[in-house]
Structure 1
Amino acid sequence: MNIKSIDSITIIVSDIARAVRFYHEVFDLPLVNGSKTTLQVGGKQQLQFVTPAATGIHISEEPGNSELALATKDPLAKTLAHLTNYAVEIDDGPVPYQGATGPATALWLRDPDHNLIKLVCY
């Protein structure tokens, strides 16, 4: 088997519309055509949202137990200004970080369900 990339990540949330709105507005992630639960990340990955009560999904987790790392091309100062514009509180950082593709700076924040989001700035 030769895994080439991550296709999608699913995050458990209490309110799908609220989660989609947060990730769409704060991180500028576009909605996948015709979907109310899936956003596009980069060119080839998707971020999906489900609730614990979703039918056909075998998930025992509750909202707030996920962690997601997102890489940004923007400089750190622009990323921080953008988050400030949306009144998003930073939990930790910025600090030096060894990312998947090399040295970076990372900071952590939480979405409305308290899922941890790591923003990696290369």
Structure 2
Amino acid sequence: MNIKSLDHLVITTHNLEACLYFYVDILGMEMDTGNNRYAVRFGNQKFNIHTKPAEFLPAAAYPTEGSLDLCLVVADDLELVKADVEAAGYPIELGIVNRNGALGPMRSLYLRDPDGNLIELCNYMTVL
């Protein structure tokens, strides 16, 4: 078997409106309401948004809100991303800090979505 890429993952939320605001308005993802479901898309990937555990079956054994720790690669300079997040009035958890990712050294900025999931935004453009 040769895994090629990530297609989608599922986020369980207790507040759909706040969740969509974070991923669409703060992170700039595109909302998708096709198939009578909520999802957000970016690049060739998507996050399906579930409003209750095991909303669609089969599902993870223990779906719960706030248990994810995700790292998303951004194309923009991280200083600009940080400025945009601050201008939107959204709290920053930590950053900008140097980290090591799947492709080597990177810079990261950490946020929490409304459910408490840790969202790391990184880029490999300028590591100090």
- TM-score normalised to structure 2 length: 0.83
Question: Residue 5 of structure 1 aligns to which amino acid in structure 2?
Answer: S
Kindly state the Cα deviation for residue 17 of structure 1 after the two structures are TM-superposed.
3.2
Determine the structure 1 residue equivalent to 2:116.
114
Give yes or no for contact 1:38–1:46 (8 Å, CA) kept in 2: yes
Kindly state the Cα deviation for residue 103 of structure 1 after the two structures are TM-superposed.
2.0
Aligned ranges for residues 1-122 of structure 1 at < 5 Å?
Answer: 1-32=1-32, 34=34, 36-42=37-43, 44-50=44-50, 51-52=52-53, 54-59=55-60, 60-122=62-124
Kindly state the Cα deviation for residue 58 of structure 1 after the two structures are TM-superposed.
3.1
- Between the aligned partners of 2:33 and 2:17, the Cα distance in structure 1 is 15
CA 1:86–1:23 in structure 2 vs 1: closer, same or farther (change >3 Å)?
Answer: same
Alpha carbon RMSD of aligned pairs, Å?
Answer: 1.8
- TM-score normalised to structure 1 length: 0.87
> Would you say how many aligned residue pairs link Structure 1 and Structure 2?
121
Kindly state the Cα deviation for residue 61 of structure 1 after the two structures are TM-superposed.
3.0
Find runs of 4+ consecutive structure 1 residues off by over 6 angstroms: none
Question: Residue 69 of structure 2 aligns to which amino acid in structure 1?
Answer: E
Question: Residue 13 of structure 1 aligns to which amino acid in structure 2?
Answer: T
Unaligned runs of 5+ in 2: none
Give yes or no for contact 1:7–1:46 (8 Å, CA) kept in 2: yes
CA 1:55–1:94 in structure 2 vs 1: closer, same or farther (change >3 Å)?
Answer: same
Question: Identity percentage over the alignment?
Answer: 31
Unaligned runs of 5+ in 1: none
- Between the aligned partners of 2:54 and 2:3, the Cα distance in structure 1 is 30
